[in-house]
Amino acid sequence: MKRYALLIGIDQYPDAPLNCCCCDAKAMRAVLNNDFDEIILLTNQDATASAIASAWNNLREKMCHGDLFLFYFSGHGEEQNDIPGFWAWDGFISNKDIERLTNKIYINRLFIFDCCRVSFYTAGKIEYNPLPAIVPTSLPTVIAPVILSACCSDRVAIESGKLLHGVFTDKILSALKDKNITCFKDFLEKLRKANINPPPQFTGSANAYISILKKWREKENLPMILPDDYPDNPALYEHLLNHSNDDDAFEALGDAANNGQNVYAQLYLALYYYEAEDDRYREWLQKTTGKGIPGADYWYACTIQAAGEHKKSAEIFLKLARNDHIDAQYQFGLCCRDGKGTNLNKQDSFFWIKKAADSGHAEAINTISRFYQEGIGHPKDIFKSKQYLMKYKMLQAKKCADDMINSPRDFFEDAISHAKTVAQTTFNNTIKQADSIAKNTQELVKKKICQTKKLIDKKLNK
């Protein structure tokens, strides 16, 4: 597992300057520097919307499945047209923009906002002259990351001249320096007990696999990063549970894997090495391929694809796709779209991604909506595009609600508020889109009737 961070601090706003934001971002870099593989820091005039997008694209190319991306912002937040976001040096960037911008499947995302009114809640207005919005709105959508916000949407984040930091950032720095914290859940718990006023907001699951520091060995979450189609192996679980500490468990896992009889042990041993030793991770993962576990083959293909072995990974994806592996169908469709490891073929891309979409793959549903909208691999069909887009948004709302429901009890109050907001917004958008589809359909029918009438008149006049 590798870690990447994009840290932004802006305090020299022309109309409403702040005091500690650059110090916040630089202090975050100092704390994370020894644990992260690459950190990009942008401050003041260097933190333009285009520079933020460019920095992300630079990091994106280096990320592999399971890596961590940490996005940190300290500066001014605002809501525009009921959409919360923050101010880059030269323009407004909404939360939705930054989520769509950071589109990378199967990486862990942590967003930290030390600013006002960036929470995913109803927000108020900030009192200073807005800059012109320049961020594009056609960026690809992504499943929501774990988000830590300094305050709820109707409160104001606080700076402290005494601390030389934002109050929220100061508590984060303190938690990251605490040697007694060994996992993300403990990290959140310390923030909750820090008596920060206003209280911070946490969106997402506390059980997410967010290992900010290398010393955080979150083995209790390890099975969560397995693909969904990995079968349970109760005998192996029981074997590991009989060992009381990590060293014993690791030795037991090694014994089970080395005898070559337990492919699941090899899988879990690969995951044990995943964070620290990439070579050993790939070695053990490769031993699980071709043994009748589609998930193992799929994950191996994802691993070698990230390492640049596009032809071999595309071959594995195609083989799995033909056997109805939904994730592989989507991935091979992307290979055909981009010409990576196989011939560039928009029609084949459309075929495989639609196949995955019709089986319920969320990202495939979103992608096929854009294909219909833009006429990629298939003639344009706005009606179909709207249909798939509505289905995708409903899946997003359901996943958001499921994530919240599975969060610890302390998150329930925020979860209920968030779920209500998402449900209401999704319902309203769905009604609007249904009206739009009905209107478009009516116009298409009317146009067809007019064409038919003209054809009849033409025949009658002959």
- In total, how many domains does the chain have? 3
What is the pLDDT averaged over residues 44-58?
A: 88
Q: Are residues 233 and 110 in the same domain?
A: no
Q: What is the pLDDT of residue 165?
A: 83
Q: What is the pLDDT of residue 4?
A: 93
Instruction: Please indicate, yes or no, if residue 56 is contained in any of the structural domains.
Output: yes
Q: How many CB atoms sit inside 10 A of residue 122's CB? A: 14
Residue tagged 């992307």 (tokens): 334
396-444: pLDDT as tens digits: 777 666 555 554 444 445 545 555 565 666 666 666 666 666 666 667 7
84-140: pLDDT as tens digits: 788 888 888 887 777 666 665 557 788 898 887 665 433 222 222 222 333 333 323
Q: What is the pLDDT of residue 134?
A: 31
Sheet containing 108-114, strands listed edge to edge, beginning at the edge strand earlier in sequence:
38-43, 3-9, 68-74, 108-114, 146-149, 201-203
Distances (CA, A) of 87 to 9, 73, 128, 220: 10, 10, 11, 38
**Chain centre to alpha carbon of residue 261:** 36
Q: Are residues 433 and 358 in the same domain?
A: no
In terms of pLDDT, which residue wins out, 404 or 365? Answer: 365
Q: What is the pLDDT of residue 150?
A: 79
Residues 6+ apart with CB under 8 A from 344: 336, 337, 338
pLDDT above 90 as % of the chain:
23
For the purposes of burial, counting CB atoms within 10 Å of the CB of 417, is it exposed (0-12), middle (13-18) or buried (19 or more)?
middle
Q: Are residues 379 and 410 in the same domain?
A: no
In terms of pLDDT, which residue wins out, 363 or 273? Answer: 363
8 Å CB contact between 47 and 89: yes
For residue 275, name the pLDDT band (cuts at 50, 70, 90): very low
∠ CA 202-205-206, rounded to 5° = 80
Distances (CA, A) of 251 to 258, 259, 264, 273, 445: 10, 13, 15, 13, 69
8 Å CB contact between 198 and 151: yes
Is 264 a residue whose pLDDT tops 70? no
For residue 373, name the pLDDT band (cuts at 50, 70, 90): very high
Q: What's the token pair of residue 151?
A: 């305050």
Q: Are residues 255 and 151 in the same domain?
A: no
8 Å CB contact between 116 and 155: yes
Q: What is the pLDDT of residue 157?
A: 65
Instruction: Please indicate, yes or no, if residue 396 is contained in any of the structural domains.
Output: no
Annotate 288-298 with b (16+ C-beta within 10 A) or e (fewer).
beeeebbbbbb
Is 347 a residue whose pLDDT tops 90? yes
Instruction: Please indicate, yes or no, if residue 245 is contained in any of the structural domains.
Output: yes
Q: What is the pLDDT of residue 159?
A: 66
Instruction: Please indicate, yes or no, if residue 367 is contained in any of the structural domains.
Output: yes
Percent composition of the chain: helix, strand, coil (DSSP 3-state, to 5): 55, 10, 35
Q: Are residues 129 and 246 in the same domain?
A: no
What is the pLDDT averaged over residues 319-342?
A: 92
Q: Are residues 166 and 32 in the same domain?
A: yes
pLDDT above 70 as % of the chain:
59
Instruction: Please indicate, yes or no, if residue 133 is contained in any of the structural domains.
Output: yes
Q: Are residues 166 and 261 in the same domain?
A: no
Is 30 a residue whose pLDDT tops 90? yes
Q: Are residues 64 and 115 in the same domain?
A: yes
Question: d(Cα 236, Cα 139) in Å, to the nearest integer?
Answer: 43
Instruction: Please indicate, yes or no, if residue 19 is contained in any of the structural domains.
Output: yes
Segments forming the whole domain that contains residue 429: 403-461
Could you give the count of Cα atoms lying within 13 Å of 330 in the half-sphere of its Cβ? Answer: 18
Is 36 a residue whose pLDDT tops 90? yes
Annotate 332-343 with b (16+ C-beta within 10 A) or e (fewer).
bbbbbbeeebbe
Q: Are residues 72 and 198 in the same domain?
A: yes
Phi, psi of 7 (to 5 degrees): -110, 130
Instruction: Please indicate, yes or no, if residue 107 is contained in any of the structural domains.
Output: yes
Domain boundary at 338, 354, 389, which?
389
CATH number of the CATH domain containing 370: 1.25.40.10
What is the pLDDT averaged over residues 187-211?
A: 74
Sheet containing 83-87, strands listed edge to edge, beginning at the edge strand earlier in sequence:
77-80, 83-87, 92-94
Q: Are residues 254 and 332 in the same domain?
A: yes
Lowest mean pLDDT among 241-245, 305-309, 419-423: 241-245
Q: What is the pLDDT of residue 205?
A: 55
Give the residue from 2, 29, 58 showing the smallest Cα distance to 277.
2
Amino acid present at 100: R
CATH number of the CATH domain containing 190: 3.40.50.1460
Residue tagged 């690809």 (tokens): 140
In terms of pLDDT, which residue wins out, 138 or 260? Answer: 260
Q: Are residues 372 and 407 in the same domain?
A: no
Is 297 a residue whose pLDDT tops 70? yes
Distances (CA, A) of 260 to 243, 254, 257: 21, 10, 6
Instruction: Please indicate, yes or no, if residue 222 is contained in any of the structural domains.
Output: no
Domain boundary at 338, 362, 389, which?
389
- Size of the chain, expressed as the number of residues it contains: 462
Amino acid present at 53: A
Q: Are residues 238 and 382 in the same domain?
A: yes
8 Å CB contact between 157 and 116: yes
Residues 6+ apart with CB under 8 A from 250: 272
In terms of pLDDT, which residue wins out, 24 or 211? Answer: 24
**What mean pLDDT value characterizes the chain?**
73
Q: How many CB atoms sit inside 10 A of residue 45's CB? A: 11
Lowest mean pLDDT among 3-12, 150-159, 168-177: 150-159
Question: d(Cα 192, Cα 178) in Å, to the nearest integer?
Answer: 15
Q: What is the pLDDT of residue 351?
A: 96
Lowest mean pLDDT among 32-36, 94-98, 133-137, 190-194: 133-137
